[in-house]
Amino acid sequence: MKGIDVSNHNGSINFGQVKDSGIEAVYIKATEGTTFKDRCLEVNYSNAHCEGLKTGFYHFLVGTSEPETQANSFYNAIKDKANDLIPMLDVESNFDGLMDFVLRFIAKFKEISNMQIGIYTYTSFTDNLDDRIAGYPLWEANYNNNPWKLNSNFFANRVGHQYSETGCVNGIDTDCDMNEFNDGIINKTNGYVRTNYLPIGYRGDGSFAGVDMEYVQEYFEDIRIYANSNEKGIWVETQNLPMSKCLELKDTLGCWFYEIK
């Protein structure tokens, strides 16, 4: 997919002309740190979404405020919008404890949103990161003007290549960041819920070694569930569900909830 990323630095944008120029995906700057919200976030989102462009958002990570508060700020800015594209964490500013901040931001954002998140960074900046985030989708800035012809690194899932910061797109009066994306940036609208290991005994009272599956099923009502086990115990996974239902189940299950996949 052809894509761009924009912020207040791009000024007023005619997204109708942007779409007519062949752009399909738009990443919009949402927040930076804890207190900064991009002044063009709302209008950029409203106009891009109105034109039917796939929209997504990114947060610029800084080292001057707690990563958990940054994650909350980012989520609050985008939670009521159509996240067609997976949210992105923009990591391009180095400071002491950077990787700790990245990991803490990701953990908090996933906890409060249950959305997948990706990493945006420059090729040259990856030396400041490590393979603890190797499995996260990577949107890589490398201005070689040759989409996808990039050297390998520890990231295992490259989903985007920003190949120019001086692109020209109809509807935008300034230079524009130009990108090629693959389907890995699409935010999933469906998923399934996996539980923690389930309590043993009658209604979880520990009275015997097995799990009372009739009791477990009460929490899922008419949702089909599938039992799995290993040497540590038994857990269940649901059928494929709309993400809204997955989030309802998270609240219903409480301490039984493990993850949405």
Percent of the chain whose pLDDT exceeds 90:
87
Q: Which two tokens stand for residue 34?
A: 């804890």
Q: Give 184's contacts (C-beta < 8 A, 6+ positions apart).
A: 86, 137, 157, 158, 159, 160
CA distance 109 to 86: 12
What is the reported pLDDT for 188? Answer: 79
CATH number of this structure's domain 190-260: 3.30.70
| E strand map for 40-157 | 54-60, 88-90, 118-122, 138-141
What are the tens digits of pLDDT across the range 171-187? 999 999 999 999 999 98
- Write down the domain spans for the chain: 2-185, 190-260
Contact predicate 24/169, CB 8 Å: no
Superfamily name and number for 2-185:
Glycosidases (3.20.20.80)
Higher pLDDT, 46 or 148: 46
3-state helix, strand, coil in the chain (%, to 5): 30, 30, 40
Contact predicate 119/137, CB 8 Å: yes
Mean pLDDT, residues 14-30 taken together? 98
Residues designated as active site: 5, 92
What's at 111, amino acid-wise? E
What is the reported pLDDT for 12? Answer: 97
> Residue 203 — left, alpha, or beta (φ > 0 → left; ψ -120 to 50 → alpha)?
left
Mean pLDDT, residues 111-136 taken together? 94
CA angle at 181 for the pair 178 and 187, rounded to the nearest 5°: 125
What is the reported pLDDT for 245? Answer: 87
